[in-house]
Amino acid sequence: MKYETFNIHVPESDLIDLRHRLKRTRLAPEIANETWEYGTNGTYLRNLLEYWEVGYDWRKHETHMNSFDNFKTIIQEIPIHFIYQRGKGPNPIPLILSHGWPWTFWDWHKTIGPLTDPTSYGGEAKDAFDVVIPSLPGYGFSNPLKTSGINFWQTADLWVTLMRDILGYDKFAAGGGDWGALITSQLGHKYAEHLIGTYLHLTIPLDIFSGDLPPEDAYAPEEVWKFKRNENFFLKESGYSGIQATKPQTLAFALNDSPAGLCSWILEKRRSWSDSKGDVETRFSKDDLLTTMSIYWFTQSFGTSARYYYECLHNPWKPSHSRTPVVESPTGVAVFKEEVVLMPRKWADDYYNLQHWTEMNSGGHFAPMEEPEALVRDIRKFFETFRR
């Protein structure tokens, strides 16, 4: 199977069309929403949209993306875009990193240099990785997706094909958060014999869409705050999932037509799910935010990214074996305190072949963007064992 060099280039006509649409934005009336209690704050949104129209430079970020080695391939008739950056060291570990929603592949970009070229970032050459960062099927440049039914556990099958059959690695490591954590866990469940190790910055059961989460009494006394945080997330922050898992196409028509609508939908998640303390720009610059929005916008991929939820709900995960732990590959975990869902340590000890656990002092759901240095240090530390 082959892969080809891919150059990211958005047609100038698409940039012009975006500016015209932004210029004609009609925001909804807003009452008493200074604290974002009702959702996205209109004043901040208007300022961000104005910057998107007249200040944001897509070409600068496009050039940055193309400074890495981008490729595309076709696996089972599904187009897959990926960065493939070779490590500069004596024996780099192949590592595939998977993103989530509302992420893109670019959320991992701050980690690429330190992981592939550690001596340039305060590390040692022996810590190098060959880094592979795909866009999930139907996300960003892994389009057009014309196949229905693709969910996280099927994506894990695609990644095995990518890493073993296309890139030629007999064994490889995997990491991720959000959907990427589920993909990575599935790799460690179904394909443990091919995994050097799995690294997660979100722990969550593979049957999350059909099973139950641990009850409060499964948490140690010092962990109960994590259970309360989970309760708050499912009560106040999970409405998006209900829509995307049931009627994603209805929403897709709206957000594929309106950059303001797309921006509002994603922006609120970036603020609420990160360790931003309510100020989104403490974690993401305007350019960071708008690069995410632009990738979704220019690739017209919101609809297929939202369908990922539908496909998971309507084709639930089924175990490949009944052995324990469920995830058999050696597993390392980073726990970011403002993550949206937090599992008890005892549950993780039972569910994974857990060999490494780090409680981080800060950071939220978008760890590779929020705390890239801490994440890289922890990834290096976990995989040290497998280099001996």
- Positions annotated as catalytic residues are 178, 309, 365
Going by C-beta distance under 8 Å and a sequence separation of 6 or more, which residues neighbour residue 321? Answer: 189, 190
Tell me how far apart the terminal alpha carbons of the chain are, to the nearest angstrom: 32
CA–CA separation, 84 and 372 (whole Å): 19
Pairing of strands 327-335, 352-359: parallel
- Angle 227-98-303 from CA coordinates, rounded to 5°: 90
In eight-state DSSP terms, residue 98 is: E
Asked whether 352 and 326 are in contact (CB, 8 A), the reply is yes
Instruction: Let me know how long the chain is.
Output: 388
CA–CA separation, 81 and 361 (whole Å): 33
Locate tokens 């497998």: which residue? Answer: 386
Pairing of strands 78-85, 129-134: antiparallel
In eight-state DSSP terms, residue 215 is: P
Nearest to 48 by CA among 325, 375, 285, 276: 285
**SS3 label, residue 144:** coil
Asked whether 87 and 126 are in contact (CB, 8 A), the reply is no
Instruction: Classify 123 in phi/psi space as left (phi over 0), alpha (psi -120 to 50) or beta.
Output: beta
**SS3 label, residue 172:** strand
Nearest to 365 by CA among 293, 268, 287: 268
CA–CA separation, 220 and 304 (whole Å): 39
